[in-house]
Amino acid sequence: MTETRDFDFDTIIVGAGPAGLCAGMYAGRGLLKAVILESKIPGGELLNTEKIEDYPGFESILGRDLAERMANHAKKFGAIIRQATVDGIRRQPDGSFLVTTIEGDTYRAPTVILTAGGTPTRLEVPGEVEYAGFGVSYCAVCDGAFFRGHTIAVVGGGDAAVEEADYLTRYAAKVYLIHRRGELRASKLLQERLFENPKIEIVWNKKVVEVQGREQAGMKECTGLRLHDTLTGAESTLPVTGCFIFVGFRPNSDLIKEHFEHDAAGYVVTDDRMMTSIPGLFAAGDLRVQLTRQVTTAVGDATTAAIAVEKYLAERRSKKSA
């Protein structure tokens, strides 16, 4: 039986990555009663990143340590973190929201901050999960600096893969771009830049079927990729110490169960207060339309969203009392 949990929350924050935890902290500082719903351990993509070296104030910090600090900071100011898998956000006729979970609970609040991020498309091959954070990455800006002087591979053929391959040459000695077809899907301008870069070699008509590696002294490291030729069926091994995968990213915006403004890829469009086209529903972090997606941009979005929620609730109360 579905249980409606109405604890007089001022806002429900969906997702406990950097954006969600920051939103919870700021909501608490604003004396708002906030609950953060997260299906896993708080931290989001921070938990899939070995080291963070581009977050102000920390020259180097483990992703899991930064996640723990953010969660503790949010809880210090009163945010409640609950393990729950959200499956729907629905606005009610009175303007409030019902947030349902697969566990059968329903949470109610006048506002929601959606910070559920997105999911990088994985290759689903042996070794990919095992070496994630130990050579396998889905973010060039986050992890590129760890591969200074290395020989690495980028998997994909779209704009993201081509842009990131070019970006990674500022660190790596050599970058292989592996694409399963004989031509790229990226824009012509990006392709021209790629072809002119002497550090990049394109590996055509190949798909990765295994990430190879080893473990020494308790440390894992990527050593190469096993490739399958999509034309001949032949297999080969490409020695690399890093593999950056850019074959797609799906924003978790499908949790919104009514029409909302979004771009062609499903990223949520917001105004400068982080409010979506649905009044009272705010969005922050990776699922929002923006130029780049970093920890710093996620917490910036969340700061704005939480403060905007405070102002939105004050305006709502003022209208009701008028």
139 is catalytic: yes
Buried b (16+ CB within 10 A) or exposed e, 60-91: ebbbbebbbebbeebbebebbbeebebeebeb
* Contact partners, residue 197, CB within 8 Å, separation at least 6: 166, 169
222 is catalytic: no
Paired strand residues for 236: 227
| H helix or E strand, kind and range, residue 109 | strand 105-109
User: Among residues 10, 143, 166, 301, which one is catalytic?
Assistant: 143
159 is catalytic: no
User: Among residues 6, 65, 94, 139, which one is catalytic?
Assistant: 139
Cα 188 from chain centroid (whole Å):
27
Cβ proximity of 109 and 11 under 8 Å: yes
User: Among residues 6, 54, 87, 142, which one is catalytic?
Assistant: 142
CA pair distance 224, 129, nearest whole angstrom? 15
Task: Name the residues annotated as catalytic.
Answer: 139, 142-143
